[in-house]
Amino acid sequence: MRGVVLHAPGDIRVEERAEPSIVEPTDAVLRVVATCVCGSDLWPYRGVEEVRDAPMGHEYVGVVEDIGPEVRTVGVGDFVVGSFWASDNTCEICRAGYQSHCVNRVLMGSIGTQAPLARIPLADGTLVATPKMPDEELIPSLLAASDVLGTGWFGAVAAEAGPGRTVAVVGDGAVGLLAVLAARRLGAERVVAMSRHADRQALAREFGATDIVEERGDEGVARVKELTDGLGAHSVVEAVGTQQSMTQAIRSTRPGGHVGFVGVGHGVSLPGEELFFSGVHLHGGPAPVRRFLPELVRLIWDREIDPGRVFDLTLPLDRAAEGYRAMDERRAIKTLLTV
Amino acid sequence: MRGVVLHAPGDIRVEERAEPSIVEPTDAVLRVVATCVCGSDLWPYRGVEEVRDAPMGHEYVGVVEDIGPEVRTVGVGDFVVGSFWASDNTCEICRAGYQSHCVNRVLMGSIGTQAPLARIPLADGTLVATPKMPDEELIPSLLAASDVLGTGWFGAVAAEAGPGRTVAVVGDGAVGLLAVLAARRLGAERVVAMSRHADRQALAREFGATDIVEERGDEGVARVKELTDGLGAHSVVEAVGTQQSMTQAIRSTRPGGHVGFVGVGHGVSLPGEELFFSGVHLHGGPAPVRRFLPELVRLIWDREIDPGRVFDLTLPLDRAAEGYRAMDERRAIKTLLTV
C-alpha cells in the first residue's frame, strides 16, 4: 500500500509501505476512509522535533477490515472513529478518564494512519462505532472527533468552561476553534476567541465566539481583563504550546480560575513564582479523546455540531505533501486526506 | 511598643515601633495574644528574599482592642483569628473562595504581627471570632489556623484529597504536617508523609499518616509508585517550594491526579513539556485561609483537631531572635511567641 512518510524536515513522500495485519489478539485492521494532517505533525515537519523516515498520521475514521480473536465490541464492516492514543479503556487510569495515559497505551502516530490500512491496537478500548454507515457529509466531522475536536473539548473541560463562565481561547488553529465550539456547548456565557485572521475569526463566531481579541501577549491579556472587570477570564484554553501563548493564557486567567492547556509545549518553561502567585489551576496534556468520543459521535450524528468545518482543504492521500505545505504556510487551517 | 524587626539577613531585633491605630473605617486594632514565626519568614531571614528593616510576622490571634466606625461583625473584646492576607470577603474573587487574591487585599506581613498590637485592615472580611474567650490550651491551635493549618488544608483541598484517595505530602515542616492532618480529615484513605526526621515522622503519624517515605527525589518518587501499583498518588501536596520538591511532587502524581502546591516557589522553573505529558492538575499559591477559617475554628473549638502540636518551641516575644534561629537550624518545627 502507499502511505505517507516523513523523510526529513519538509520532505513528505507517499510511498510503498507494508500492509498491516493482526499482531495481537486485541487488534483490528482498519480500512481508512479519511485521515488528516495535525498541527502537531508540523513540529517534525518543521524540524522542531527530530524525526526521520517515519510513517505519519494519527487521526482516522474508517471501516473495520479484520479483527483479532479477542475483539468483542466492534466487528468487520463497522464504521469507527478512534483516538490518537490506543487505550484498553479498562485500566485504573482509563477508568478515571485519562485514556491518553492508559497503562497499555500505544501511540497511533508510531503506526501512521495516513495510509489506506492501519493496525489499531486495543480495538475494543480504542474504537467507537457509529450507529450505521454515515452519510458522506458527516465524514469530516467524525474525523475531527478523532483528535482536534476531542482535544479542543478536553481543553475546554480542563479549563472548566461552563454556565456563567467567560472562556478565552488562545490559538486559532483547528484545536483552538473547536475549543470555542466546546466551550459554548458546555454552556459558557461568553467565549473570547483570540485571533487576528479574518477567516478564522468568522469560523470562531460560527462556532459560538461572542468576542474576538486580535491583540497578543501583554496587550491580549489587557484586553481580556478589560472584558472581565479587570479580573481575567474564569477559564482559558491554551491551544498553541509556546512560551508566549502559555504566559498569555496564565495571565489572562483570574485567581482561582482554570487554564486548560492542550498545545504541545515546546521549549516552554513556567516560572514557579509567577505560577504560585497567579492562583490559577493548570491542567492539560495529551487529550483523553476516548473519554469524550461516544458523546461527540452522538452530537455529530444528530447534527448538533459541525466540527468538520475546520477542514478547509481536501486532497487525495497521494497529494499529502501539498496538504502539509498549505498548513505550514497557514494557507489552510486543516487538511483532510481522502483515501 | 516593642516589635520584631528584620534588619538584614540573620539580624532579628525586638525594638521600639509606633503603636498602630485605626486608619480606615474598616480597620480593627488587635491586642495580639500569640504570634509565631513562619517558614516563609525564613526566606528573608536567610537572605533568599531581599528584605531590610522590615517589621515581621503575619500570623496572629488576639483580642479586639478598637474598631473603625464601619466594622460590623467583630466587636471590642472579641477573641479573633485572622489570615495573613486581609480581605474584604465580598468581592467576586473572595466569593469564589480566593480571599488571598481579594481585589482589596492587604498583606499582613507588611504590617508585622510579631508585636503587642496590630492594625487589621478590612476587619469584617478578615477576622473570625471564637464563640467566647478560649481556654489557654486552645491558643496554639487557633494560632495555627491563622496560617500553617489553613495553608496545609488548602494544599490538601487543592490536591483534591478525599475518600478513596492516596495522598502524598512532600515536606515535613509545619505546613506539610498539617497537610497530613487535613488530608486525613478530608477522608483520604492513605496518607504518605515524606520525612526523614524521627520526631516529625512521629507527629505525622499522630496527625494520621499511614505510611512514611524517607527517600527523596527520584527515589522518593519510586517509593510512592511502589505504594500505588506503579501509578503514583492520586493527590500530592507540595509544601516546600524548591525545584526538587516540585519535581518530586509532579512525578509522584498519577496522570489525571492533582498536585496542590503551597510552598512558596523560589527559583523554581517547570518544564512545559514534562508538565504536559504528566497529565496532572496543578493548583496552589498563597492559601485563601479565610475560606476555611470558620470550619477550622469550629474543629479546634470542638477539640476535633489539635494542630497546635506543631509548635515545639514557645518563647516570649522579646526572645524572637532565638525562635528564628531554632527554626533556621531545624531544631524547632515552629516557634510560638507569647506577647
- Considering only CB atoms, which chain A residues are within 8 Å of B256? 93, 96-98, 101, 288
B271·A275 Cβ contact <8 A: no
- Is the pLDDT assigned to residue A331 strictly greater than 90? yes
Residue labelled with grid coordinates 517515605: B213
The class that CATH gives domain A2-147+288-338 is alpha beta
Residue of A nearest to B159 (CA): A281
Rounded to whole angstroms, how far apart are CA atoms B221 and A102? Answer: 19
Q: What pLDDT score does A69 carry?
A: 98
Residue of B nearest to A266 (CA): B273
Rounded to whole angstroms, how far apart are CA atoms B157 and A282? Answer: 15
Residues B227/B201, Cβ–Cβ less than 8 Å: no
Q: What crossing angle do the helices spanning A174-185 and A198-206 adopt, rounded to 10°? A: 20
Residues A54/A5, Cβ–Cβ less than 8 Å: yes
| Of the partner residues A93, A230, A275, the one whose CB lies closest to the CB of residue B270 | A275
Count CB atoms within 10 A of the CB of residue A44.
18
B269·A270 Cβ contact <8 A: yes
Q: What percent of chain B has pLDDT over 70?
A: 100
Q: What crossing angle do the helices spanning A174-185 and A148-158 adopt, rounded to 10°? A: 50
Rounded to whole angstroms, how far apart are CA atoms A206 and A186? Answer: 16
pLDDT 10s digits, A30-60: 999 999 999 889 989 999 888 889 999 999 9
Domain ranges in chain B are 2-147+288-338, 151-284
Q: How confident is the model at residue B290 (pLDDT cuts 50, 70, 90)?
A: very high
Q: What pLDDT score does B261 carry?
A: 97
Rounded to whole angstroms, how far apart are CA atoms B182 and A12? Answer: 55
- Considering only CB atoms, which chain B residues are within 8 Å of A267? 272
Q: How confident is the model at residue B50 (pLDDT cuts 50, 70, 90)?
A: confident
Rounded to whole angstroms, how far apart are CA atoms B97 and B290? Answer: 8
- Is the pLDDT assigned to residue B265 strictly greater than 80? no
Chain B nearest-CA distance from A277, in A, is 5
Q: What pLDDT score does A50 carry?
A: 86
- Considering only CB atoms, which chain B residues are within 8 Å of A246? 272
ipTM score for this prediction: 0.95
Residues A154/A288, Cβ–Cβ less than 8 Å: yes
Q: What pLDDT score does A267 carry?
A: 87
Q: How confident is the model at residue A265 (pLDDT cuts 50, 70, 90)?
A: confident
A64 backbone φψ class: left, alpha, beta (φ>0; ψ -120 to 50)? beta
- Better pLDDT: A140 or A263: A140
Rounded to whole angstroms, how far apart are CA atoms A95 and A85? Answer: 15
B250 reaches A (C-beta below 8 A): no
**Candidate CATH numbers 1.10.357.10, 3.30.70.60, 3.40.50.1820, 3.40.50.720; the one for domain B151-284:** 3.40.50.720
pLDDT 10s digits, B108-119: 999 999 999 999
> In whole angstroms, how large is the CA radius of gyration of chain A?
19
Residue of A nearest to B268 (CA): A272
- Considering only CB atoms, which chain A residues are within 8 Å of B286? 276-277, 279
The arithmetic mean of pLDDT across residues B179-204, rounded, is 97
Rounded to whole angstroms, how far apart are CA atoms B177 and B169? Answer: 8
Q: What pLDDT score does B237 carry?
A: 98
B286·A280 Cβ contact <8 A: no
Burial class (CB within 10 angstroms; exposed 0-12, middle 13-18, buried 19+) of A133: exposed
- Is the pLDDT assigned to residue A10 strictly greater than 80? yes
Q: What pLDDT score does B111 carry?
A: 94
CATH number, domain A152-284: 3.40.50.720
Rounded to whole angstroms, how far apart are CA atoms A61 and A287? Answer: 18
**SS3 helix, strand, coil % of chain B, rounded to 5?**
35, 25, 40
A93·B254 Cβ contact <8 A: yes
Torsions phi, psi for B99 (to 5 deg): -60, -25
CA angle B268, B271, B277 (to 5 degrees): 135
- Is the pLDDT assigned to residue B169 strictly greater than 90? yes
Mean pLDDT of chain B: 97
A278·B285 Cβ contact <8 A: yes
Q: How confident is the model at residue B242 (pLDDT cuts 50, 70, 90)?
A: very high
Question: Residue B335 is placed in which grid cell?
Answer: 516557634
| Of the partner residues A255, A269, A278, the one whose CB lies closest to the CB of residue B272 | A269
Burial class (CB within 10 angstroms; exposed 0-12, middle 13-18, buried 19+) of B303: exposed
Q: What pLDDT score does B253 carry?
A: 98
The arithmetic mean of pLDDT across residues B194-210, rounded, is 97
- Considering only CB atoms, which chain A residues are within 8 Å of B266? 272-273
Q: What pLDDT score does A51 carry?
A: 85
Q: What pLDDT score does A183 carry?
A: 98
The arithmetic mean of pLDDT across residues B304-331, rounded, is 97
Mean pLDDT of chain A: 97
- Of A27, A12, A13, A17, which is closest to residue A116 (Cα–Cα)? A17
By DSSP bridging, strand B2-8 and strand B11-16 are antiparallel
Q: How confident is the model at residue B222 (pLDDT cuts 50, 70, 90)?
A: very high
Q: A55-69, A81-95, B153-167, B255-269: which range is least confident on average?
A: B255-269
**SS3 helix, strand, coil % of chain A, rounded to 5?**
35, 25, 40
Chain A nearest-CA distance from B222, in A, is 16
Residue of B nearest to A281 (CA): B283
